[in-house]
Structure 1
Amino acid sequence: MTGAAAEPGYRVWALPGIPEVRPGDDLVKLIAAAATAEGATALADGDVLVVTSKIVSKAEGRILEAADREAAIDAETVRVVARRGTLRIVENPQGLVMAAAGVDASNTPSGTVLLLPEDSDASARALRTGLRETLGVNVGVLISDTFGRPWRSGLTDVAIGAAGVRVLDDLRGGTDAHGNPLSATIIATADELTAAGDLVKGKATALPVAVVRGLPHVVREADAETEADTGAVPGEDGDGDEGDPGARALVRDAASDMFRLGTSEAVREAVTLRRTVREFTDAPVDPGAVRRAVAAAVTAPAPHHTTPWRFVLLESAESRTRLLDAMRDAWVADLRADGKSEESIAKRVRRGDVLRNAPYLAVPCMVLDGAHAYPDARRGAAEREMFVVAHGAGIQNFLVALAGERLGSAWISSTMFCRDVVREVLELPAEWEPMGAVAIGTPASAPGARPPRPADDFLVVR
């Protein structure tokens, strides 16, 4: 109809004629030959080529003789994210989190494995530049690979390399059709394009390249290669040749990754992250995070199905100062009674300032409700020790859970030396036994490297 607006839409088709790719092959020539097989080029300005990573890897010689695929995965693994039996989800050197580090034993000769391209963004840039010089067309290039996804069954293709494509469409700051502000909407355009391309490519039919046409707005102009045109999320890394961040902009950094580890791996990392922190920032502590840590603490094992844990949370500066002043006075009195000099006392008190400098304190207390009474001292002492051990398990849970909340902590024993003072200041029942105090806050600096402690140094096997 004359004057009618064009219907929105796009076309996607596989590019036929790509032969089996071997190490050293020139992918630009192979794709250009396929695109001009019938004389006129099958590519146009604004097209997006979706190229399967396998042919890029083969052309770049990323084929490895490997009788043991697991060893190849080890070599390509930067960090294990999750492990279930022989299946591993890992981070590879490109920062991609995927099964088996992308090491593939399919579509490659027996006894070999195929690694992902060493730098998929650089590979995409080379293809884009080569096709522009060979065919005179300005196309975007995406290099795709197959990913599984958390919470969703099935596989889909995603972009692991990109050049000349606005990989992210940041809609934050705009409004929807109802005028509601968009505050978190960032569209992964490159992944949507690769998934569309995968619908027409063939993993076993020699169709490793797809063409998407009709979305020229996602392709960057060849002479306007500036960071402002990349579609990168503000604050993301925008460095790269000609300011194109490539597919790297799609990879979440550690700080914004809420699902960085699998369950068992997260527990192990939280245990490893738990350190004694003695210097904190003045950032406020989320009381909800502390309460979640308490909920973890009280799942620890305890004798006779008891619950021997109580936590006093000192959330106001006034309550912390009042307790710590009273404890300091009691400590000074003890030191003087021990015959310590005033200079020595002052030094010791200064070393105890870790609690005073923390923005939040918790005082864990032990109660012996449900403890069995025994007529002899031996069994009575063992009964109490069971409760002390259970209380220690609860504190460990508490500290590990705080580490999982990205909070630092220091468990200081001082309240155990002046329990009567603590009970009086905090108005606690007489049967509550303060078991130290936990300083909580945001660490002022990253922890140093922890010296290795091989498990065998602590084992006796019979």
Structure 2
Amino acid sequence: MSIEILPVTGLPEVKPGDDLAALLSGADLRDGDIVVITSKIVSKAEGRVRRAPDRTAAIEEETERVVARRGDTVISQTRHGFVMAAAGVDASNTEPGTVLLLPEDSDASANRIRAALPVAAGVIISDTFGRPWRHGLTDVAIGVSGVTPLADFRGGDDTHGNPLQATVTALADEIAAAAELVKGKLSGVPVAIVRGLPHLVLSGDGPGVRPLIRPADEDLFRYGSRDVVFARRTIRAFSADPVDPGAVRRAVEAGIAAPAPHHTTPWRFVLLESPEVRVKLLDAMRDAWIDDLRGDGFTEESIAKRVRRGDVLRNAPYLVVPCLVMEGSHTYRDERRNASEREMFIVATGAGVENFLIQLAVEGLGSAWVSSTMFCRPVVREILDLPSTWDPMGCVAVGHAAEPPRDRAPRDAADFILTR
């Protein structure tokens, strides 16, 4: 099999409203060809041009979420699902003072162009992406019509008879990158024809680019540096899926990386992996709460309502009890200073728990930090057989979220800042 990659030269400057298929009427197109079109000219033809002194406002408008930010560089996820620099907003190859946005729907754009071509060809709309852990840029497909986007070899065997378990080739991306070899960034050639792959050209539009976009729940690197802290959400409904104990232990590693006073290690994490121990602890805590609430004069109806709040712990498949230890703390003659010393250790414990919760989220686990154990510490120590110096600081419910968490309430950081 041989492949030809042919530049389409002599195209005029594309303007809003231009018919790209008509502009290609003079090209040597044949049945079975694949036409690769740079997204810039599609954006220009569709009027996706904005007057802007810089790209900042346009990037914000096109961004679904910020994945990472360093200085002026922003890696964002667009509403199309692409994770790319500057949400695909481009200030190159356009008039000064303007920027280009990605097409509204690149698959739909590719479908329209393909339908108007005089031959049975496929169409790929390409754009330039950076790649994690690699220097340099390459073109990938952001819109596909009439082309098989992926080749799935899973379930087959290699030449040595080894089963293929993870081999899925991004055909549309490979074709887009190959076409860029003759288009180039500075040559002014926005279209190329890839010939020799008729077996990849479909009779209909096909699935488009969607199969190339990895769903968030399958992405091991879903969270960029901007996302990590916000990945932690309080989850109160868990599925029946089991929790990987290794993931919890990795979260503990993150927890004990928190800052602490006097170079101490004030954190201990009690992992309740036995269902019998979890039930025994929760039953004893419930009885202790009921006794306390009755002693405080609460009605039975109010007590029942408050006890039900502990259901998040009872329904979780895994529990963790973070504990504070004061080893390495200083003792002073002044009780005020002793109280401050303890507060320092409490703050450090909270930092450790927050690290722990964030890493659970990165591991794909939901959590809820409930302060319940702090109201019955002697009971918790007895049931879990903890040293008297271990101070339970709540209980963390861990599991896989049964449903997506609700959106966060909007908060403006300026409301929480005081400048002097």
* Aligned position for 2:227: 266
Report the CA distance shift for 1:417/1:11 in structure 2 as closer, same or farther (over 3 A): same
**Aligned length, in residue pairs:** 420
Find the aligned partners of 2:112 and 2:301 in 1 and give their Cα distance.
Answer: 70
Q: Secondary structure at the match of 2:210?
A: helix
**Paired residues for 1:333-352 under 5 Å:** 333-338=291-296, 344-352=302-310
Q: Secondary structure at the match of 2:182?
A: coil
**Paired residues for 1:164-179 under 5 Å:** 164-179=146-161
Structure showing greater Rg: 1
* Higher relative contact order structure (alpha carbons within 8 Å, sequence separation ≥ 6): 2
* Aligned position for 1:434: 392
Contact between 1:366 and 1:435, CA under 8 Å: does it hold in 2?
yes
One-letter amino acid of the counterpart of residue 73, structure 2: L
Pick one of 390, 406, 410 that aligns with 1:448: 406
- Alpha-carbon shift at residue 350 of structure 1 (Å): 3.5
* Aligned position for 2:2: 9
Contact between 2:233 and 2:405, CA under 8 Å: does it hold in 1?
no
One-letter amino acid of the counterpart of residue 254, structure 1: A
Find the aligned partners of 2:374 and 2:61 in 1 and give their Cα distance.
Answer: 50
Find the aligned partners of 1:431 and 1:346 in 2 and give their Cα distance.
Answer: 32
* Aligned position for 1:38: none
TM-score, length-scaled by structure 2: 0.93
Q: Secondary structure at the match of 2:406?
A: coil
Kindly indicate whether residue 210 of structure 2 is the aligned counterpart of residue 248 of structure 1.
Answer: yes
**Paired residues for 1:120-139 under 5 Å:** 120-132=106-118, 137-139=119-121
Contact between 2:229 and 2:358, CA under 8 Å: does it hold in 1?
no
Q: Secondary structure at the match of 1:332?
A: helix
Q: Secondary structure at the match of 1:199?
A: helix
One-letter amino acid of the counterpart of residue 16, structure 1: T
- Alpha-carbon shift at residue 307 of structure 1 (Å): 0.6
Of 452-461 and 358-367, the range deviating more from structure 2 = 452-461
Contact between 1:328 and 1:349, CA under 8 Å: does it hold in 2?
yes
Contact between 2:366 and 2:398, CA under 8 Å: does it hold in 1?
yes
* Percent identity (aligned): 65
Pick one of 150, 158, 181 that aligns with 2:140: 158
* Aligned position for 1:145: 127
5+ residue gaps, structure 2: none
Find the aligned partners of 2:86 and 2:243 in 1 and give their Cα distance.
Answer: 38
Find the aligned partners of 1:193 and 1:416 in 2 and give their Cα distance.
Answer: 60
Find the aligned partners of 1:445 and 1:198 in 2 and give their Cα distance.
Answer: 42
Q: Secondary structure at the match of 1:143?
A: strand
Report the CA distance shift for 1:206/1:331 in structure 2 as closer, same or farther (over 3 A): closer
Q: Secondary structure at the match of 1:95?
A: coil
- Alpha-carbon shift at residue 346 of structure 1 (Å): 4.3
Pick one of 41, 51, 76 that aligns with 1:65: 51
Find the aligned partners of 2:17 and 2:297 in 1 and give their Cα distance.
Answer: 82
Report the CA distance shift for 1:385/1:55 in structure 2 as closer, same or farther (over 3 A): closer
* Aligned position for 1:215: 197
One-letter amino acid of the counterpart of residue 228, structure 2: V
Report the CA distance shift for 1:27/1:458 in structure 2 as closer, same or farther (over 3 A): closer
Report the CA distance shift for 1:167/1:382 in structure 2 as closer, same or farther (over 3 A): same
5+ residue gaps, structure 1: 1-7, 36-41, 226-241
Contact between 2:55 and 2:99, CA under 8 Å: does it hold in 1?
yes
Contact between 1:121 and 1:246, CA under 8 Å: does it hold in 2?
yes
* Aligned position for 2:359: 401
Report the CA distance shift for 1:188/1:321 in structure 2 as closer, same or farther (over 3 A): same
Deviations 1:255-306 (A, max 9, x none): 222223322x122322xx322x333222211111211111111112211111
Report the CA distance shift for 1:333/1:168 in structure 2 as closer, same or farther (over 3 A): same
Kindly indicate whether residue 365 of structure 2 is the aligned counterpart of residue 372 of structure 1.
Answer: no
**Paired residues for 1:36-435 under 5 Å:** 42-132=28-118, 137-221=119-203, 225=204, 244-263=206-225, 265-270=226-231, 273-275=232-234, 277-338=235-296, 344-435=302-393
One-letter amino acid of the counterpart of residue 405, structure 1: E
